[in-house]
Chain A
Amino acid sequence: MTSTPGARTTPPDVSAPLDPSTPTDPSTSTSPPAPARTALSARARRGAVRTLDALEHVVGGLGTGVLALMTLAAFVLTALLSVVGVGLLVAPEVLRAVRAVADRERARLSHTGATVVSPGPLPDGLRAQLGDRDLRRELLWTAVHGTVGIGLGMVALTLPFAAVRDVTLPLWWRGFPELVGSTDVMYVAVTSWADALVVFLMGIGWFVLAVLVLPLLARLQTWPGRALLAPPPGADLALRVAQLTATRAGALDAHMAELRRIERSLHDGTQNRLVAVTVLLGAARRAVVRDPAQAEDLLERAQCAAEDALADLRAVARGILPPVLADRSLADALTGLAASSLVPCTLRVDLPVRGAASVEATAYFVVAEALTNTARHSRASAVTVDVRTTGDLVRIVVTDDGVGGADEAAGSGLAGIRRRTAAHDGTLLLTSPPGGPTTLEVTLPCGS
């Protein structure tokens, strides 16, 4: 944008947080012959967009303001009725309504700026609810937003209304002489064309004022919500610490489960094969003199058992970390997985750069586990694996055309995927309606 002469004259965008869409206006980067005019029209357009956005926000704010006022009234009424006992019965519902309205405002605020995180559903029981610190802040918010917020919204709506009415007055004042002829409705009694002109000029004034003030009013209206509905400072970190503690425990669990699996496959698989080798060799040695033909047979079996042991060992090693993943790339490792999938697998990989080793390993195991799940439970005839980098995220989407109904609580595979994913601060999204299809989407921060 800065490469075009017109754009250089653009003043700093004061209301940037409210309208992130405007800088992409294509007119700023075209028609170099008339730079001044382009700049002007761009500014006008931007101003119009900003004003309309602000208007939309104010209307939304007015909506939540009315809701807040209603819940506030319900709350006060319930509080009064609680004195005589009756209110206590409905109190939990009213408090839940407060949380619901506050969540609506949070969603609205998150839409237009930084995300405001909801503290989640209220606890059960009136005592616990009243002890909820977030709820008390929400009640304060209903009081402020239900009064000041509504007031701001009214003022903000009056401005464009007055502007339109006054600017268009010359067109219709003669049709309604009684309406405009008194100061009941108008602040200036309009009885002549000169009056109408004055009001028209005032309308222009309202218009300019609306453009200038609306964004400010819209922002002012969001302020109580931003101040009172966001988690109090410090709570954010506490939440994060709790989350990290949980994911760390999950990661350690996943790690333990992994070690257990490896131990078991070594002891019950590989070692048993090797024991069989020693048993058969022992038997062969005893048979050498007694019955050479049987000894030969036993040696043959011993050799087979030794080869089995080697195959087992390879499988265990691959289960710990696939060599191809370590030596080549995630794409190559995934190709191998897709090729050995029991359900025909279409693989799409777009990974321009290598990620951190732990992230790649997790991505590999997510796909491996997902394909195993598909083969075991879905009765699918085809499965698609899509792995690509988007920004600094690795996105893995595994979709099959099977019967659906995958339940994370039922199978340990999905729980394992979730634990591994959570350990990387990743996300897991599972859509699996009965009848299918099943889509598993995992995102992992690249971490490189």
Chain B
Amino acid sequence: MRIVIGEDDALLREGLALLLRAEGLDVVATAPDADQLLAAVDRYEPDVAIVDVRMPPTHTDEGIRAAVEARRRHPGLAVLVLSAYVEQAFATDLLANGGARLGYLLKERVGRVEQFLDALHRVAAGGTAIDPEVVAQLLTRTRSDPRLDRLSPREREVLEIMAEGLGNTAIASRLFITEGAVHKHIRSIFAKLDLPPDDEADRRVTAVLRYLEDAQRRA
């Protein structure tokens, strides 16, 4: 897997590259700002771009904009956005064109190397990785939705993990249940939320996140 990193903090940039290389991944370039990141993506055409949200010159949302632009130029590019804090509004921007090959994680998730690598591979393979924090924000802000209240506690757990972008196998192993049970829970969830059933993980994520956003607007 060929990777380009866009991160303005030198220590973190090098740390990240070090970690990924130690795991046998191919970090082909690192960039300290959005422009250089886009140039590196154009030049090396990597499989994945790992992008920090706040970069020079304004330190606001350069990373998000660079990610959107990079995907416009290279539709097959997987992008994993890392951020000092997660904001559901950013997630909405990113997911505007669907959740395929897209990740949005808190920076410190990188330290949990196995999960991070898992998310990285998932995104590179065409899936989605949404930070549990984003899902939690969406859920806490939509507490008053009556259809969500119909979910059982277990279904809610499944919903949360599903919203992060994990597939049935991963959900099953995270919750120590069988894949068949996961499948049943998901069908029940989609029915209770009046969503059309879908087995494709990334479309599922988008549907669930969109549902939660709509619910928020209704509340």
Contacts and interface: CB of A to CB of B under 8 A. Distances in A.
Interface of A: 264, 267-268, 271-283, 285-287, 294, 298, 301, 305, 308
A279 B111 contact: yes
Counting chain A CB atoms within 10 Å of each CB, the highest count among B18, B59, B84, B110 belongs to B84
B35 to A, nearest CB: 18
B59 A268 contact: yes
A171 B26 CA distance: 116
Contacts of A273: 11
Contacts of A268: 8-9, 54, 59, 84
B19 A283 contact: yes
A127 B9 CA distance: 59
- Interface of A, helix, strand, loop or mixed by DSSP: helix
A305 B11 CA distance: 8
Given A278-B110, A279-B111, A287-B22, 11 more contacts: A267-B85, A268-B59, A272-B11, A274-B108, A275-B111, A276-B12, A278-B108, A281-B111, A283-B15, A283-B18, A283-B19
Given A272-B84, A305-B11, A267 B54 contact: yes
Contacts of B116: 282
Nearest to A285: B113
Contact of A275 (B8, B23, B108): B108
B18 A276 contact: no
B141 interface: no
Interface in B12-28: 12, 15-16, 18-19, 22-23
Contacts of B111: 275, 277-279, 281-282
Nearest to A271: B84
24 contacts: A264-B59, A267-B54, A268-B59, A268-B84, A271-B84, A272-B12, A273-B11, A275-B107, A275-B110, A276-B15, A278-B110, A279-B16, A280-B15, A281-B111, A282-B110, A282-B111, A282-B116, A283-B18, A283-B113, A285-B113, A286-B19, A286-B23, A286-B113, A294-B22
A409 to B, nearest CB: 21
Contacts of B72: none
B43 interface: no
A325 B22 CA distance: 47
Contacts of A277: 111
Contacts of A280: 15, 18-19
A262 to B, nearest CB: 14
Contacts of A281: 111
Interface in B83-103: 84-85
Nearest to B22: A283
Contacts of A276: 9, 11-12, 15
Counting chain B CB atoms within 10 Å of each CB, the highest count among A267, A268, A273, A283 belongs to A283
A285 B108 CA distance: 15
Given A264-B59, A286-B113, A279 B12 contact: yes
Which 8 pairs, one residue from A and one from B, show the smallest C-beta to C-beta distance?
A278-B111, A282-B111, A283-B19, A282-B113, A272-B9, A275-B107, A267-B84, A279-B15
A202 B109 CA distance: 105
Nearest to A272: B9
A283 B19 CA distance: 5
Contacts of A275: 12, 84, 107-108, 110-111
A306 to B, nearest CB: 11
B218 interface: no
B176 to A, nearest CB: 23
A286 B19 CA distance: 9
A286 B84 contact: no
Contacts of B217: none
Interface in B112-158: 112-113, 116
A272 B116 CA distance: 17
Contacts of A294: 22
A286 B24 CA distance: 12
A285 B9 CA distance: 23
A119 B9 CA distance: 53
A278 B8 CA distance: 17
A136 to B, nearest CB: 51
A186 B85 CA distance: 97
Contacts of B15: 276, 279-280, 283, 301, 305
B22 A286 contact: yes
A266 to B, nearest CB: 9
Counting chain A CB atoms within 10 Å of each CB, the highest count among B12, B85, B116 belongs to B12
Given A268-B54, A285-B113, A308 B84 contact: no
Nearest to B84: A267
Contacts of A283: 15, 18-19, 22, 113
Contacts of B108: 274-275, 278
A308 B59 contact: no
Contacts of A264: 59
Contact of A308 (B11, B85, B110): B11
A291 to B, nearest CB: 8
B90 to A, nearest CB: 14
Contacts of B85: 267
A172 B110 CA distance: 110
Contacts of A305: 11, 15
B102 to A, nearest CB: 21
A268 B8 CA distance: 9
A64 B17 CA distance: 80
Nearest to B53: A267
Nearest to B20: A283
Nearest to B107: A275
A301 B113 CA distance: 17
Nearest to A304: B11
Given A272-B12, A273-B11, A276-B15, A282 B59 contact: no
